[in-house]
Chain A
Amino acid sequence: MSTAQALAEAAQPIHPPPTSFWRQYVFSIDHKVIGKQFLWAGLLFLLVGGTLAMLIRWQWAFPYRPVPVLGQVFLGKSGGVIGPATYQQIFTTHGLVMIFFAVTPVLIGCFGNFLIPLMIGARDMAFPKLNMYSFWTFLLSQLLVLASFLTDLGSAGAGWTTSPPLSTNVGTPGLGQTLVVAAIFVTGVSSTMGAINYVTTVIRLRAPGMGYMRLPLTIWGIWLTAILNALFVPVLGSAALLLLLDRNFGTQFFVAGASAVRGGGDPILFQHLFWIFGHPEVYILILPAWGILGDVLPFFARKPHHWYKGTVLAMVIVTVLSAMVYGHHMFMTGMSPLLGEGFMLFTLLISAPSMVVVLNWVLTLWRGSLRFDTPMLFALATMFVFGVGGLTGLFLADISMDLYLHDTMFVVGHFHFTMAAASFLAAMTGIYFWFPKIFGRKLDERLGKAHFWFTFVGITLVFGGQLLAGYAGQQRRLFDPFQYTFIQQLRGLNRWTSFFAFALFAGQFIFVWNFFKTLFGKVASAGANPWEVTTLEWTATGTPPPFHNFDRIPEVVRGPHEFSNPEVRRLTGRDFAGQAEVLPGGGERGLAAAKG
Chain B
Amino acid sequence: MLGANIRRGAPAGPRPDIPELGRYRLRRTEDEVTSYIGMVIFLGSWAMMFAALFFAYAVVRVRAPMWPPPDQPALPFLVPGLNTVVIAASSGAVLLGVRAHARGRYRRASLLLGVGAGLGAVFLGLQVLVWLGLWRAGLVPSGGPYASVFYALTSFHALHVLVGLAALTVLALRSRARSATRSAVRLWGMFWHFVGVVWGALYVAVYLA
Give A contacts to B, CB under 8 Å.
11, 126-127, 130, 192, 195-197, 199-200, 203-205, 230-235, 237-239, 241-242, 245-246, 249-253, 258-266, 269, 272-273, 276
Contacts and interface: CB of A to CB of B under 8 A. Distances in A.
B15 interface: no
B60 A261 contact: no
A231 B48 contact: yes
B59 A200 contact: no
- Tell me which of B41, B51, B142, B143 has the highest count of chain A C-beta atoms within 10 A of its own C-beta: B41
B77 interface: no
B166 interface: no
A251 B56 contact: no
Interface in B104-150: 140-149
Q: Which 7 A-B pairs have the closest CB atoms?
A: A250-B142, A262-B144, A263-B64, A234-B49, A251-B148, A238-B52, A262-B69
Nearest to B38: A200
Contacts of A230: 41, 44-45
7 contacts: A11-B30, A234-B49, A261-B69, A263-B145, A264-B145, A269-B56, A276-B52
A127 B41 CA distance: 13
A261 B65 CA distance: 6
B60 A266 contact: yes
Nearest to A231: B48
B72 interface: yes
A259 B144 contact: yes
Given A204-B37, A231-B45, A266-B60, A251 B147 contact: yes
A196 B45 contact: yes
Contacts of A251: 141-142, 147-148, 151-152
Given A196-B38, A204-B34, A273-B52, A264 B142 contact: no
Interface residues on B, range: 35 or more
B30 to A, nearest CB: 5
A260 B52 CA distance: 26
B33 interface: yes
B23 interface: no
Given A251-B142, A251-B151, A261-B70, A199 B53 contact: no
A240 to B, nearest CB: 11
Contact of B44 (A127, A231, A250, A262): A231
B45 A192 contact: yes
Interface string B41-67: 110111011111101100110011110
Contact of A126 (B38, B45, B71, B145): B38
B60 A234 contact: no
A262 B147 CA distance: 10
Given A200-B41, A253-B60, A262-B64, 9 more contacts: A200-B38, A230-B45, A241-B156, A252-B142, A252-B145, A253-B148, A253-B152, A261-B70, A269-B56
B31 interface: yes
A236 B38 CA distance: 21
Contacts of B56: 238, 242, 253, 269, 273
A199 B49 contact: no
Contacts of B156: 241
Contacts of A231: 44-45, 48
A262 B143 contact: yes
Given A232-B48, A261-B70, A265-B148, A196 B64 contact: no
Nearest to A201: B34
Interface string B18-46: 00000000000011011101100110111
Contacts of B53: 238, 241-242
Nearest to B61: A263
B143 to A, nearest CB: 7
B56 to A, nearest CB: 6
Contact of A245 (B42, B72, B152): B152
A263 B34 contact: no
Nearest to A270: B56
A196 B44 CA distance: 10
Nearest to B30: A11
A245 B141 contact: yes
Contacts of A272: 55, 59
B24 to A, nearest CB: 17
A174 to B, nearest CB: 19
A129 to B, nearest CB: 12
B37 A234 contact: no
Contacts of A238: 49-50, 52-53, 56
A265 B52 contact: no
B48 A235 contact: yes
Contacts of B51: 235
Contact of B60 (A126, A235, A241, A265): A265
A121 to B, nearest CB: 16
Nearest to A227: B41
A262 B60 contact: no
A262 B141 contact: no
Contacts of A195: 41, 45
Contacts of A241: 53, 152, 156
B37 A200 contact: yes
B193 to A, nearest CB: 18
A171 to B, nearest CB: 18
A254 B84 CA distance: 30
A204 B33 contact: yes
A368 to B, nearest CB: 38
Nearest to A237: B49
Contacts of A259: 144
B70 A197 contact: no
Contacts of B149: 253
A263 B62 CA distance: 10
A262 B146 contact: yes
Nearest to A249: B141
Contacts of A273: 52, 55-56
A262 B71 contact: yes
Given A126-B34, A260-B65, A272-B55, A252 B44 contact: no
Contact of B148 (A196, A232, A235, A245): A245
A290 to B, nearest CB: 22
A588 B54 CA distance: 59
A276 B49 CA distance: 12
Contacts of A264: 63, 144-145
A55 B89 CA distance: 60
Nearest to A193: B42
A326 to B, nearest CB: 12
B127 to A, nearest CB: 17
A103 B118 CA distance: 46
A195 B70 CA distance: 45
Contacts of A239: 52
A263 B144 contact: yes
A252 B144 contact: yes
B163 to A, nearest CB: 13
